[in-house]
Structure 1
Amino acid sequence: MNSFTLANPVFAAYAIAASLMVLKIMGQGWVTVYRMLKIGGGYASPEDLKAGMINKNPRPEQLEVNDYVDRSRRMHRNDLENIPAFLIAGLLFVAVDPDLLLAQILFYGFVISRLLHAIAYATKQSHEMRATFYTIGSVIVIYLAIHVLVVAIARAAG
């Protein structure tokens, strides 16, 4: 069977998890834009102070860091630092034909850990709380990569 079709339940699980994570990355960007527009500030670049349809009355203080906007920006950056590794390691994991239950636990465990991390970040929980959810997701990605590496080395050795 071709590993990379939806007829493969492992790939289907990956496709669901990966799609949710892509939506998380893209959605967080839109949340940041919404927050900037809502408060009319927290802009990141000097050119954001050019007058236009959205920013009719630019002011220098619009470039000041605003925690409401910046928190969302930090969450987005965190997603961009973590989710791509999952997307790559998860796809490689599909290629080594893993057990379906193991794949589902790892893929959906990563999604849940990232969603809990986002909730903890958005609600201003402690660093330890965020770090717990980050660690769970990180360990999952590391496991995926090591599993692929071990299987690939074993198959290469013949």
Structure 2
Amino acid sequence: MLDNPVFLSFVFYSVLLILKMYIIAIITGQVRLHKKAFANPEDAMRHGGTQYYREDPDVERCKRSHHNDMENIFPFLFLGAIYSMTEPGLFFARMHFLVFFLGRVVHSVAYLCALKAPTRSVAYVIAQVPCFSMLLQILYAVGVQW
């Protein structure tokens, strides 16, 4: 697989997406600390008392962004890996991976910064287009072989 340039491109963008997810997790933790809004009583006790065992809208926004990443990036990882095996053209494959990556980055920024609608929704849809395209191409490739 390492001699397949499409797969290498997929790996590159996948690693960037996982890094982005780690960054969102770190941001969530930092917002928790800054807002003193902890999910566990033992954490609240360590940082001032049980009154900080609470929810906060900014922390919840970060968590929703991270959750949305999991709902979308995990399927991309599966689709992209299988798509890479269907021998697509390198340019088009890279465009699929790049568009998804950029769409997810814009989506996260829009979510975390509460950007004006419909920025987040448009970014979501843009990122779904290459996933849907890969899905159809995989089904076609499997259907032809099956």
TM over 0.5: yes
CA shift for structure 1 position 48: 3.8
Report if aligned partners of 2:31, 2:58 keep a CA contact under 8 Å in 1: yes
Matched, 1:73 2:68: no
Q: Is 1:32–2:28 an aligned residue pair? A: yes
Structural RMSD (CA) = 1.5
Show the 5 A alignment for 1:3-152: 4-5=1-2, 7-41=3-37, 43-49=38-44, 51=45, 55-60=46-51, 62-152=52-142
Q: Which has the larger radius of gyration?
A: 1
User: 2: CA distance between counterparts of 1:108 and 1:90?
Assistant: 12
Contact 2:41 2:50 in 1 (8 A): no
Q: What letter corresponds to residue 48 of structure 2 in structure 1?
A: N
Q: 5+ unaligned residues in a row in structure 2: which ranges?
A: none
**How many Å separate the matches in 2 of 1:47 and 1:142?**
44
Q: Percent identity, aligned pairs only?
A: 27
CA positional deviation for 1:56 = 4.0
Cα displacement (A) at 1:136: 1.0
For 2:18 and 2:73, the matched residues in 1 are separated by: 8
TM-score (norm 2): 0.91
Change (3 A) 1:141 1:80: same
**Counterpart contact for 2:100–2:130, Cα < 8 Å:** yes
If the length of structure 1 is used for normalisation, what is the TM-score?
0.85
Q: Give the distance between the partners of 2:39 and 2:122, measured in 1 at CA.
A: 30
CA distance in 1, matches of 2:25, 2:107: 16
- Listed as ranges, the gaps of 5+ residues in structure 1 are none
Report the Cα offset of residue 119 of structure 1. Answer: 1.4
